[in-house]
Amino acid sequence: MKMYDYQAPNAQKVRIFAYEKQITIDYIAVDLLNHALRTPEMLKKNPLGTVPFLELDDGTIIRESRAIIEYLEGIKNEPNMLGNDPLEKARIQEIDRLVELGLMIELGNYVHNISPFFQDKGPQSEEAAEMALNCYKKNLQILENEISGEEFLIFNRPTVADCTLFSTFTFSESLNLNFELLVFRIDPLIKMQFQAHHLGHSFLNNLKFFLRSLLN
């Protein structure tokens, strides 16, 4: 199977999830800046014109990062990263949504309001950008208070919430925003491991440590 993606948080989240499960996927980078998703061939595969999307060996297409993750969990349950019972599933979903909506989305709101790339895609506002950053910092503190695991965010094993958080932090790093604005800057060694695709437990093991050390 292969996944069409771009260097964006949702695609990175799926990559991390797959690496943790040791699932082999061929990754195909899509040139979004040159509108590669709008070609007839690509629109036939995914009429939504979005990435990531997964193409199975029989041609079946699975769109959206969460749907892809659910599929990958289904074909390889170990290590379990979505929850073993109803309470675990609920708790993982709760933390994952906090990271996605409270951190990743707020970073996206910030970018949409300051990047020249989005100037022709809607109104931009410095006030809205500042509000997004303030929400990011507030939600980061809320997340820190919710951490319950010793090595990972929760349950002392990697879950999809860890993947979402790590991809969010790499996104914040790529924005080159200073430490005072975004509170967090990813550890260079961890970033290097990610770029080298050494994505086993070595890169998620210390995620909580870095989060707490930078908030203290």
Domains for the chain: give ranges and CATH numbers. 2-75 (3.40.30.10), 86-215 (1.20.1050.10)
Q: Average pLDDT for residues 177-191, to the nearest whole number?
A: 39
Q: How does pLDDT run across 86-96, given as a tens digit for each residue? A: 999 999 999 99
CA distance 110 to 1: 34
Name the strand (E) or helix (H) holding 192.
Answer: helix 188-195
Residue 42, number of CB atoms within 10 A of its CB: 17
Give the pLDDT score at 7.
Answer: 78
For 85-137, the three-class secondary structure string (H helix, E strand, C coil) is CHHHHHHHHHHHHHHHHHHHHHHHHHHHHHCHHHHHHCCCCHHHHHHHHHHHH
Give the pLDDT score at 170.
Answer: 76
Percent of the chain with pLDDT over 70: 77
Q: Average pLDDT for residues 34-61, to the nearest whole number?
A: 88
Between 81 and 191, whose confidence is greater? Answer: 81
Give the pLDDT score at 149.
Answer: 63
31: pLDDT strictly greater than 70: yes
Give the pLDDT score at 150.
Answer: 60
196: left (phi over 0), alpha (psi -120 to 50) or beta: alpha
Q: Average pLDDT for residues 194-215, to the nearest whole number?
A: 44
CA distance 106 to 123: 16
Q: How does pLDDT run across 98-156, given as a tens digit for each residue? A: 999 998 899 888 888 887 767 777 788 889 988 998 898 888 888 878 877 666 788 87
Joined together, the tokens standing for residue 141 give 């503190």
Give the pLDDT score at 201.
Answer: 42
Instruction: Give the range among 19-28, 153-162, 181-190 with minimum mean pLDDT.
Output: 181-190
In the block, residue with structure tokens 């599929």: 71
Give the pLDDT score at 177.
Answer: 52
23: pLDDT strictly greater than 90: yes
